[in-house]
Amino acid sequence: MSAISRDDVAHLAELAHIAMSDEELERMAGELDSIVDAIASVSEVAGENIPATSHPIPLQNVFRDDVVGQTLTQEEALQNAPDAQDGRFKVPAILDED
């Protein structure tokens, strides 16, 4: 028995305001029915003993530890800045605010 009928597809197309020909309704009903069958077969296999996975291959974190290294002093950071004021980078205003 088909889970998705032509009438179901026609109803959904009407709700979504999608114009579909009779041929398109028949074809879409068959395609959606195949999708529902595929999902049902996967659901039959998945059981309590099978853990849910988001990826078929186990992944591990490949990032290095975040370790503080050599840093610039405030003076060194501002040394080549085009403009600085009060120990900070000075940039042109882009908003009409003060």
Range of the structural domain that residue 26 is part of: 6-45
Q: Quick check: is 32 in a domain?
A: yes
CATH number of the domain encompassing residue 36: 1.10.20
Per-residue pLDDT band at 60 (split at 50, 70, 90): confident
Rounded CA-CA distance 63/14 in Å is 50
Mind listing the pLDDT tens digit for each residue in 14-41?
A: 999 999 999 999 999 999 999 998 888 8
Helix (H, G, I), strand (E, B) or coil at 42: helix
Q: Please state which of the ranges 49-53, 64-68, 87-91 shows the lowest mean pLDDT.
A: 49-53
Total structural domains in the chain? 1
Mean pLDDT of the chain: 87
pTM score of the predicted model:
0.46
Per-residue confidence (pLDDT) for residue 49, from 0 to 100: 78
